[in-house]
Structure formats: C-alpha cells, structure tokens
Structure 1
Amino acid sequence: MQPTLRIALLATLALGSHALAADEIRLHGATTAIDRFVNPYKAEVEKTTGFKLTIIGNATGRGLADLAEGKCDASLALNACRCP
C-alpha cells in the first residue's frame, strides 16, 4: 500500500464516521506537523479520498482546544500531552 493511501486510511479511521459523512475534514494544530506530514501529501490525499482538507496551523495546544470545542475534526500535536 502506498504511503499516501496509508495516511488517508489512518486519517479516516481516526476521524470515525464523521469523516465518512463529510466532504471536508478540518485539521488544526502544530504547524511543524502540518508542514512535515500533511502539506506534502495534501493534494494526493484529497484526490484519493475526495475529501477537502482545511488546515489551520495554530499550535498544538490551540489545536487540541479546538478539537475539544468541536471546531475541527482532528488535531495535530507534536508535544507530549499531560493528562490529569
């Protein structure tokens, strides 16, 4: 399986049924993750899956907060998370 297809499949599985029902997937979070792992494959993932990726680089913490607030479908994080 090609790396891009693997990324698309993992993203779809991680997002769950919402990704299957949506035309757009909203990704927020770490700009480093976006630059290294999303942007290089964005066009191919969109072409392969038919989803439009809307990407907002707003840092790990803000991305996680946006996910909790329902402002995005997935958050990109590179820092360790401390859970209570």
Structure 2
Amino acid sequence: MILDEIERKKKYAAYGLCIDETRTQAITQKSTAVTKTAVSEKLKQSFKDELVHLGFRHVEVELREAGGADGVLYHKLVLTRAPGVEFPR
C-alpha cells in the first residue's frame, strides 16, 4: 500500500513535469519579441515610406502594435496628433 502511494506520487510528479514542458507562453513571448524586431519595425518604416510616396503629409498616421494572441501580433493605425481617436476596423 505504501509502495503503491510512492509509485502514484512519482507518476503524478512526472505528469506535472510533462504539463509544464508543454506550456507555450515562453515560445509566444520569444516569437513576439522576434516579430517586433524583424517584422514590425520594417513594416512601420515601409508604411511611413509609402505615405511619403503618396504625398500624405497633412495628417500624421503611424502603425503601432495592438497586442497579440496565439502567436499572432496585431497592428493598428493611430493618428499621432489625436491619440484618443480610433480608426474603425
């Protein structure tokens, strides 16, 4: 009976370790950091360059990160001089 309980606790501990190893939070955090560095900055610069190319100078618009979920990072347009104004989706 005691040996059975020891064996059960060993299995329980092993299952706990397996569950801990399947958590994706660390991967998501790293993915978000890489995306911000490798994609977001280039996307922001391309957006600014395109606005200049189109002669869009009368309103300051910028692209900002809008959070993420399940490994996907979202962006939104923001009026730089009107921080409370939201663009429709």
Higher RCO (CA < 8 A, seq sep 6+) = 1
| TM norm structure 2 | 0.25
Larger radius of gyration: 2
| TM norm structure 1 | 0.26
